[in-house]
């Protein structure tokens, strides 16, 4: 963040540490609660601003849930998509999909020039199915 002109403060670093070490998508409120253990005076606004900056820098990605809540994960490497467990919140990335024919068909039908896409699949992980 420093290299991109952002100040590196202790509270920001706490947010970064929590998100980058997460094994599941975390909501801003969850990040806030964990970061306040290190910085009790940390405000939720700082969490949101830090997440916004990290997203702008491509270091985290936003997860949109069917119920409308948003959470965050460390950004995937390259072009990957997400599998998210609706019970425990674990997240996995996958690649190797070929959406080009579908995207081309949609572009032809709608007249859009589609520049990018984002795919998230929701279900139950192997552990939660047991």
Count up the domains in the chain and report the number.
2
How would you classify residue 10: left for phi > 0, otherwise alpha for psi between -120 and 50, otherwise beta?
Answer: alpha
Closest alpha carbon to 15 in 63, 54, 41: 54
pLDDT bucket at 110, cuts 50 / 70 / 90: very high
45-83 pLDDT tens trace: 999 999 999 998 888 888 887 777 789 988 877 677 888
pLDDT of residue 97: 67
Domain shared by 51 and 29, yes or no: yes
Contact 65, 11 (CB under 8 A): no
Asked whether residue 41 falls in the same domain as residue 104, the answer is no
Domain limits at 87?
A: 79-130
pTM, entire model: 0.74
pLDDT at 128 over 90: yes
Mean pLDDT of the chain: 87
pLDDT at 96: 66
pLDDT single digits (tens) 1-47: 777 777 878 899 999 999 988 888 899 999 999 999 999 999 999 99
Question: Is the domain of 36 the same as that of 62?
Answer: yes
């Amino acid at each position: 963040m420093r290299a991109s002109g952002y100040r590196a403060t202790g509270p920001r670093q706490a947010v970064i540490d929590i998100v980058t070490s997460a094994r599941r998508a975390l909501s801003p409120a969850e990040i806030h609660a964990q970061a306040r253990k290190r910085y009790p005076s940390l405000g939720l606004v700082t969490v949101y601003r830090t997440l916004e900056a990290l997203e702008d820098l491509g270091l985290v990605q936003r997860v949109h849930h069917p119920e409308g809540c948003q959470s965050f994960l460390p950004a995937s490497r390259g072009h990957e998509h997400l599998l998210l467990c609706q019970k425990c919140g674990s997240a996995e990335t996958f690649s190797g999909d070929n959406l080009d024919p579908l995207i081309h068909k949609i572009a032809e039908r709608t007249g859009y020039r589609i520049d990018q896409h984002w795919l998230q699949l929701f279900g139950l992980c192997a552990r939660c199915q047991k």
